[in-house]
Structure 1
């Protein structure tokens, strides 16, 4: 599809184009949150398998600091993407 034909679709249907952008942000944010959650679960399973539950009862083995900070960043970025998707979708109803 040529760029001119694609642009004509954007001009003809602006609300749908903006909603498509919101959907893209929503999918990216949701995927990032799911992938981060799986990362956290795998890291905890690896820590438990390595330590063989030598911790005191009630204490879970802690992740190392860089992994925890990276997961925290990905969670924040994922929620920011979902918030942006909500804002863009809301904006598309006002156009």
Structure 2
């Protein structure tokens, strides 16, 4: 599809195209939050299994927690961006 056809589609339905972008951000942010939650649960289960065998050093836990916090923040930022873009798409029709 050429760039001119995409531009004419945007001009014909600007709110829909921008709302599709908001949907993309919401799906990406939601998937990131779910994947981070799953990874966090798996890490906790692995730590619980390892702690039964031998004590777990705290220096191996902190980088994982820091990475999880980053992905949670990024996921919530994507969700907030999706909400802002969706709100903006409703203002395009007026």
Could you tell me how far apart the structure 1 residues matched to 2:53 and 2:10 are? 57
Is residue 5 from structure 1 mapped to residue 5 from structure 2 by the alignment?
A: yes
Post-superposition, which runs of at least 4 consecutive aligned residues in structure 1 deviate over 2 A?
none
SS of aligned partner of 1:52: helix
For the aligned residue pairs, the C-alpha RMSD in angstroms reads 1.8
| Structure 2 unaligned residues grouped into runs of 5+ | none
Query: Higher relative CO (CA 8 A, sep ≥ 6), structure 1 or 2?
Result: 2
Q: Aligned to 2:70, which of 58, 70, 73?
A: 73
Count of residue pairs brought into register by the alignment: 89
| Structure 1 unaligned residues grouped into runs of 5+ | 56-61
Instruction: State TM-score, norm by structure 1.
Output: 0.86
Could you tell me how far apart the structure 2 residues matched to 1:24 and 1:8 are? 21
Moved more, 19-28 or 2-11: 2-11
Describe how 1:1-95 pairs up with structure 2 within 5 A.
1-52=1-52, 64-95=61-92
Deviation, 1:42, is 0.6
Instruction: State TM-score, norm by structure 2.
Output: 0.87
Higher helix share: 2
Deviation readout 1:72-93 (Å, 9 max, x if unpaired): 0000110010011001101111
